[in-house]
Amino acid sequence: MKSFFPVQSASLLYRIGLLVKEARLRMGLRQADLAERAGISLRAVRHIEGGKAEGVSLHDFMLALFTVGISDRVFQALIDDPALDLDALETNATKRVRLPRSNAEDF
């Protein structure tokens, strides 16, 4: 199951990669320049621009978006969504999920 990656997600990553590349070129940067400015590897920049998720941490992904100035543009829907109330999300983040205890007669 680990090899499965939804087509919609792959398509979005590809589109974001194109946005990163377009912004980098508009800034007059080489891939190596972006890697240096963002503090990530050149390989990570190549994977991001190629729309590949393998081997790129979320941290490196976000640094690349921030460095070229498109993080707000890419995540605008999250910023504007009233259902994503930060206080409510933080309250729910402290809750734990517990499995019911199993009884000996269940086995």
pLDDT score, position 33? 97
Check whether 106 has a pLDDT greater than 70.
Answer: no
**Segments forming the whole domain that contains residue 32:** 7-92
104 lies in some domain: no
- What CATH number is attached to the domain comprising 75? 1.10.260.40
Residues with Cβ within 8 Å of 86's Cβ and at least 6 positions away in sequence, in order, are none
The string of pLDDT tens digits covering residues 15-50 is 999 999 999 999 999 999 999 999 999 999 999 999
Judge whether 44 lies within some domain: yes
At residue 107, the pLDDT reads 60
Question: Would residue 1 count as lying in a domain?
Answer: no
pLDDT tens per residue, range 59-88: 999 999 999 999 999 888 888 888 777 777
43 in any annotated domain: yes
Domain total in the chain: 1
Task: Give the Cα separation of 60 and 75 in Å (integer).
Answer: 16
